[in-house]
Amino acid sequence: MVERKPILAITMGDAAGVGPEIIMKALKDQEIYTSCCPFVIGDAKMLERADKIVQTNLKVNRIKKVEDARFSYGTVDCLDLDLLPPDLPFGQVSAEAGKAAFKYLEKAIELAKEQIIHGICTAPLNKEALHKGGHHYPGHTEILAELTNTKDYAMMLSAPNLKVIHVTTHVGLIDAVKQITPERVYTVIKLAHETLQKAGYKQPRIAVCGINPHAGENGLFGYGEEEEKVIPGVEKAQQEGISVFGPLPADTLFFRAIRGDFDVVVAMYHDQGHGPIKVLGLEAGVNITVGLPIIRTSVDHGTAFDIAGKGIADELSLKEAIRQAIELAPRSTNHD
């Protein structure tokens, strides 16, 4: 094996959304080809349709195996699964599109397990379409975890000056509080610590949010959730030498993190972590699944059915997701 540019599989996501459009727009950037070898897993006809809409004038090269890819700027290599009708409506929930989005991801995981690719970058899928297509998962993260037999994983969001990792994600608020345990808090702290160390942080500074306003303020708010659920996990991590602080009030913690006091924030539930990231701009956020045996990054926005097919979707989040996948990916595969 030799060191070379990483090979990245970009999954097309739900073709009724903006996925094909932002992929074609992103791969119009020649700089991507100087630092990685990208190819798309999806339906070539959907990419060709998107190209006519966004007018990138890129050629779509249908391939049946990765070895046939050209990895040449001006050509978008597509591992063509050919699952969708050419007239798939834009902006509508479709069982066909949901099922296809699952198949694209499944194929990417298969290639990653075979060490043919270095990483996966995912365009958005639609959860309702995914369910209609017979795959009852909350989202990409849970599919990836199950198909790679990963027990301990977490969602990390990354934007300029702010990284957030989540203890719970796609569950209701009441269920989220129930699911928060000292063991889970400790696990997420450790995942954050190990991930940032691999990215070059010698001693990452990790801040942990409280559950209640003012992190409970010594029992004034809530029913002792911080003392019961959060503090034991933090203390266990501290005993192992991890630089972790908290629980701290979330209403000021994110400001401090953006200012540079901390390298990553541990959020207790979905909106606590997602809100601050998205305030910084939807185009800036990237979703990273932490704890998997493979590298996976994603845009931090949805399928945008309301603007699908109009050619106005912003590709910057996908380009940033590709950039971060390049940084995290190993440099050798069986394909080498």
The one-digit pLDDT tens for each residue of the chain (336 residues) are: 445 789 999 999 999 999 999 999 999 999 999 999 999 999 999 999 999 999 999 999 999 999 999 999 999 999 999 999 999 999 999 999 999 999 999 999 999 999 999 999 999 999 999 999 999 998 888 899 999 999 999 989 988 889 999 999 889 999 999 999 999 999 999 999 998 887 778 999 999 999 999 998 888 898 999 999 999 999 999 999 999 999 999 999 999 999 999 999 999 999 999 999 888 876 667 888 889 888 899 987 889 999 999 999 999 989 999 998 888 776 555 544
Measuring CA to CA, which residue among 136, 127, 126, 46 is closest to residue 83? 46
Spatial neighbors of 97 by CB under 8 A, at least 6 apart, are 14, 15, 16, 84, 88, 126, 129, 133
Partners of 265 in the β-ladder: 164, 207
Q: Are strands 295-299 and 286-290 parallel, antiparallel or unpaired?
A: antiparallel
Tokens (6 digits) for 5? 């540019």
Q: Are strands 162-166 and 154-159 parallel, antiparallel or unpaired?
A: antiparallel
Domains of the chain: 1-151+293-336 (3.40.718.10), 161-279 (3.40.718.10)
294 burial class (0-12, 13-18, 19+ CB within 10 angstroms)? buried
Do 263 and 203 touch, CB atoms closer than 8 A? no
